[in-house]
Structure 1
């Protein structure tokens, strides 16, 4: 089947993925951009900035939690190329909803906010159905010997798109101070991605797939992994990473504003805040690369220590802020990202390697489900601390204490003997 599909499917997938991921981060940076200037002008408080960051994070995560089994069913029942199209079409629709809101309420930021929340929720829904398609389509359009390289290429392009989107959205809003302009550029990005995915030839599908059966399988496999003495802990470790990442991402705007002011930066812009986020991401990339060099597959002996290092780096951010200078603040963000990457990558590799290979797709779906739950819990944790009046630096100190406690109890049993992995992971089947 793969040999009958045009060779253009793979490069078209890469282009569509890059544009879609770029748009996701571009529009979020633009949506949050006005908060920086409103806070500097004294029109809103730091707690309100954190609340808005939490809100937009949460509405993006919710579709991944509520609709995970449905997204998997749709990507089995119809060609995955259909949901590459469908995902970008939903993202485009969400962008147009947000654009409508800021156009109807020009100059009134708060009146347009409901429209923007609804629009970004629809963008999250599009990402929910797009995500399993972009990974699931690779084995259908490429030979097995190219899959590892192809997955790496998709991840690298996604990373570049995240960095570029954050910088691009922040820069355009800083220079134009126009949300309609930013939404218009985002709509153009999604429209081009939609056209590119539309040029792909349809891939195979299973018309016999039933929704009830798919949801039941998902639930049974979730329970099986949760009961597993080793892989259940691996999922918890991955969840710790995403919980921490959600709070870091949500709190970073308010913390960055304080850090830049404390470091004596005269002109504070969203571009400079984006540089802080990029420092965190660069740290995660460095940690991911080092993890591959320092640990063989299945070696999780340092997981707890990496969790404690992550807690220490976050505590440093909360304790110092920008008072020791901007270079130290950026170094702290890189250190937090480094520890996070070293924590996550060995866990991911162990989960993929030790899971039943015949159910790996369902395992990844379960991992996505638990990861997004962790992110939603992180957003809730942030909202709780904000509700009690904590500002950015104390929030990072509270996060550090929470991560340290959770990491201390992250005791992962040793890996099973070679040849026993599949048997152990399938023992919970029903």
Structure 2
């Protein structure tokens, strides 16, 4: 039986993202085993993000110049090299940085291929929701599996990651090979990247989406690291596998939120997603006043659900408008720069705070306050976007 191209893409993305999230908790186990400082997990995460920021001017052009299915294959191949580096006992930050290079190449093609595999705004929204859902399912299961396997055997867990990347790589050969634009020149496009950024930031709709998605991923990356430190302090849980299970609960919430988004927020009313950003802020703040396992699980679910509904509509409208303004791949590359630059700033600030011995609760309050500032901006922009859309 022939698998539909979209379903093949979902499976490929799931396998690749599953391995991506296994690595974080495998790395956490390595940090604990080799007695690295606790804050080093932030250094490892930052090394992953640096690749996205540095390569942003080039990977969008690479995705648009070549068949996106081939770009997906190359991205997975580079990720595999990062796992081989772990086998060679290189520094965890270096290994995760190599994986970050593969992920930076992979990402524009992953989203940029969606408009070519769908035929309407509604179908594109549904495809975005599903790929986000499968990605979060991979975060959920990959995190848990990474924690469990790392506790059982680090070599086996690393080998499992490599096998998943290779399987995902093989699956990409089943995705239709749609030719890219051979006239694209990397040097020229790298220079134009900053103009593309200016074009997307100048447009009210795409600017709204970039700020929204960037603020979400900044908050999510810091909250994820903070929860890893928060769980031992508030719940007395120190085992990597148990911490990974709790962190993965957020993934369940995001997956549910992403998959229910089309019913909660229609594509044309993407600007209403700010409401779920506000819910996410309240849920994050509540972590500072609880120390009960069941309340923790409930809050992690709420943070994930509200975050999923918050981000999917903005992803969709950005891709829909961006492909006509600067190109699908370059739109995602700009989005990656904005998101990962904010994530890098957030993770860097959190790492410095942790190194200084400042309370994790203070970090949580800080990230909630910063997210609130972004949401306030979105609220102001929403009124203008709603008026413009009503006039069309």
Q: Same fold (TM over 0.5)?
A: yes
Residue 368 (structure 1) aligns with: 336
Cα gap change, 1:351/1:89 in structure 2, threshold over 3 Å: closer, same or farther?
Answer: closer
Cα gap change, 1:170/1:368 in structure 2, threshold over 3 Å: closer, same or farther?
Answer: same
Q: Is the 8 A contact 2:254 2:307 kept in 1?
A: yes
Residue 297 (structure 2) aligns with: 330
Q: Give the deviation of 1:315 after TM superposition.
A: 1.5
Q: Is the 8 A contact 2:276 2:306 kept in 1?
A: yes
* 1:300-321 CA distance string (max 9 Å, x none): 665555444332221211232x
Q: Give the deviation of 1:382 after TM superposition.
A: 0.6
SS state of the match for residue 208, structure 1? coil
The match for 2:99 among 123, 128, 142 is 123
Q: 224-233 or 275-284: which moved more?
A: 224-233
Q: Is the 8 A contact 1:298 1:349 kept in 2?
A: no
Between Structure 1 and Structure 2, the one with more helix by share is: 2
Q: Give the deviation of 1:404 after TM superposition.
A: 3.1
User: Is 1:80 aligned to residue 50 of structure 2?
Assistant: no
Q: 2-side partners of 1:223 and 1:129: how far apart?
A: 22
The match for 1:182 among 141, 151, 157 is 157
The match for 2:371 among 400, 403, 408 is 403
User: Is 1:377 aligned to residue 352 of structure 2?
Assistant: no
User: Is 1:226 aligned to residue 201 of structure 2?
Assistant: yes
User: Is 1:243 aligned to residue 231 of structure 2?
Assistant: no
Cα gap change, 1:144/1:382 in structure 2, threshold over 3 Å: closer, same or farther?
Answer: same
Residue 324 (structure 2) aligns with: 357
SS state of the match for residue 352, structure 2? helix
Segments of structure 2 that go 5 or more residues without pairing to the other structure are none
Residue 17 (structure 1) aligns with: 13
The match for 1:276 among 216, 236, 246 is 246
- CA RMSD of the aligned region, Å? 3.0
Q: Give the deviation of 1:420 after TM superposition.
A: 7.4
Q: 2-side partners of 1:78 and 1:349: how far apart?
A: 23
**Bigger radius of gyration among the two:** 1
Segments of structure 1 that go 5 or more residues without pairing to the other structure are 1-5, 102-111, 422-430
Q: Is the 8 A contact 1:318 1:395 kept in 2?
A: no
What number of residue pairs does the alignment pair up? 385
Mapping for residues 40-55 of structure 1, pairs under 5 Å: 48-49=37-38, 51-55=39-43
User: Is 1:414 aligned to residue 384 of structure 2?
Assistant: yes
Cα gap change, 1:169/1:358 in structure 2, threshold over 3 Å: closer, same or farther?
Answer: same
SS state of the match for residue 12, structure 2? helix
* 1:189-215 CA distance string (max 9 Å, x none): 222223333466643132221113322
Q: Give the deviation of 1:64 after TM superposition.
A: 1.5
Residue 229 (structure 2) aligns with: 254
Residue 105 (structure 1) aligns with: none
Q: 2-side partners of 1:151 and 1:291: how far apart?
A: 10
